[in-house]
């Protein structure tokens, strides 16, 4: 028995097929199959039921899997803490929300490379909901996305809170000195964010607290696209203040004064709870250190 065999076993159990495990581990499918057969021969048990309907863990496989994961985790911790950072290798699969990707992500990658120069990166840009699903399934090691995180199988490290404000095109001729309530905003066409965005429930809750139904005319999966539609005069919408400062200064967008003010939104680094490598944990803490989002004292929810 060796660590590579255990890693192959755990990854096949996680992803549900030899092909998916081979892709994730950068090995051939025959290599993964051989490692599993060697484990089964060593232990004298079948780990998987290879039925026409798919690959399923046997009862013995279910029993052994938690121990295998513990051994893998201990091995990784020993290697990580005894080895030099320059010797740490591997592929770090990161999921990133657009707000982070377009601001301080390059600084984070540079810092990781400076500390762990032999680590390689695979970066996926996306919305929070699909990114979290990829962390759950093991397709991603870590995601930098919007809170709240309610899944008990995931662990979140706060990256700070960011400011979002309601904006519109000056062409809508909304007086800048006017304070708008959710009911006032509902009289205008709203350019909203898709339901996969972590901001969608926060926006709906903001309107709902005032007894107003949130019913956007347009829903976008990308805030940059939403900003262009808003600047074109197609409606009002919630945008990140700092990211669109230049458009405000150029007179393409105007910031609306609202009561109540929209609450700051939290971003987090998310990874699997309990089965995370020391490298992933270190990267989550490094991201929290380098994030330029303001800190608030409110706890994660």
- Per the domain annotation, does 211 fall within a domain? yes
**pLDDT digit string (tens) for 226-249?**
999 999 999 999 998 888 999 999
Q: Is the distance from CB of 135 to CB of 154 less than 8 angstroms?
A: yes
The answer to whether residue 137 sits within a structural domain is yes
pLDDT of residue 85: 72
Q: What is the dihedral of CA 18, 23, 24, 27, to 10 degrees?
A: 80
pLDDT value of position 148 = 83
User: Which tokens sit at 264?
Assistant: 């700051």
Is 142 in the same domain as 274? yes
Q: How far is CA 202 from CA 141, 192, 195, in A?
A: 26, 12, 11
3-15 helix and 18-25 helix, angle to the nearest 10 degrees: 120
pLDDT of residue 275: 63
Same-domain check for residues 169 and 232: yes
Here the tokens at position 13 are 């159990």
Q: Are strands 218-220 and 191-193 parallel, antiparallel or unpaired?
A: parallel
Domain presence at residue 34:
yes
pLDDT at position 70: 84
Residue 300 forms part of a structural domain: no
pLDDT of residue 176: 78
d(CA 235, CA 191): 6
* Burial (0-12, 13-18, 19+ Cβ within 10 Å), 105: buried
Q: Is residue 207 part of a domain?
A: yes
Do the Cβ atoms of 226 and 194 come closer than 8 Å? no
Q: pTM of the prediction?
A: 0.72
| Domain housing 194 | 164-255
Nearest C-alpha neighbor of 198 from the set 144, 124, 118, 256: 144
Rounded distance between C-alpha atoms, residue 133 and residue 14, angstroms? 13
Q: Which two tokens stand for residue 90?
A: 């591997």
pLDDT of residue 59: 93
261 is a domain residue = no
Which residues are CB-contacts of 106 (< 8 A; sequence separation ≥ 6)?
none
In tens, the pLDDT along 152-161 reads 989 999 999 9
What is the domain count for the chain?
3
55 in the same domain as 105: no
**Phi and psi (nearest 5°) for 247?**
-65, -35
> Which segments in the chain show pLDDT lower than 50?
297-301
The pLDDT value given to residue 299: 40
């Amino acid at each position: 028995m060796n660590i590579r065999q255990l890693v192959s076993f755990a990854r096949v159990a996680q992803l549900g097929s030899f092909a998916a495990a081979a892709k994730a581990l950068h090995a051939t499918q025959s290599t993964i199959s051989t490692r599993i057969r060697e484990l089964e021969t060593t232990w004298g048990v079948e780990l998987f039921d290879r039925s026409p309907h798919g690959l399923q863990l046997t009862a013995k496989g279910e029993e052994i899997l938690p121990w295998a994961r513990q051994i893998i985790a201990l091995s990784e911790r020993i290697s990580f803490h005894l080895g030099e950072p320059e010797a740490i290798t591997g592929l770090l699969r990161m999921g990133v929300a657009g707000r982070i990707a377009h601001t301080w992500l390059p600084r984070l990658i540079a810092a990781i490379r400076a500390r762990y120069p032999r680590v390689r990166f695979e970066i996926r840009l996306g919305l929070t909901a699909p990114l979290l699903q990829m962390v759950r399934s093991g397709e991603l090691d870590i995601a930098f996305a919007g809170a709240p995180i309610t899944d008990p199988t995931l662990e979140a490290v706060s990256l700070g809170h960011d400011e979002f404000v309601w904006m519109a095109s000056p062409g809508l001729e909304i007086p800048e000195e006017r304070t708008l309530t959710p009911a006032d905003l509902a009289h205008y066409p709203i350019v909203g964010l898709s339901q996969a965005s972590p901001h969608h429930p926060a926006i709906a809750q903001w309107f709902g607290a005032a007894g107003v139904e949130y019913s956007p005319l347009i829903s976008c999966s990308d805030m940059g696209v939403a900003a262009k539609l808003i600047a074109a005069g197609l409606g009002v919408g919630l945008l990140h203040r700092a990211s669109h400062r230049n458009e405000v200064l150029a007179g393409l967008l105007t910031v609306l004064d609202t009561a109540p003010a929209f609450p700051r939104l939290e971003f987090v680094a998310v990874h699997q709870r309990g089965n995370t490598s020391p490298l992933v944990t270190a990267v989550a803490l490094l991201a929290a250190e380098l994030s330029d989002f303001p800190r608030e004292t409110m706890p994660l929810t």
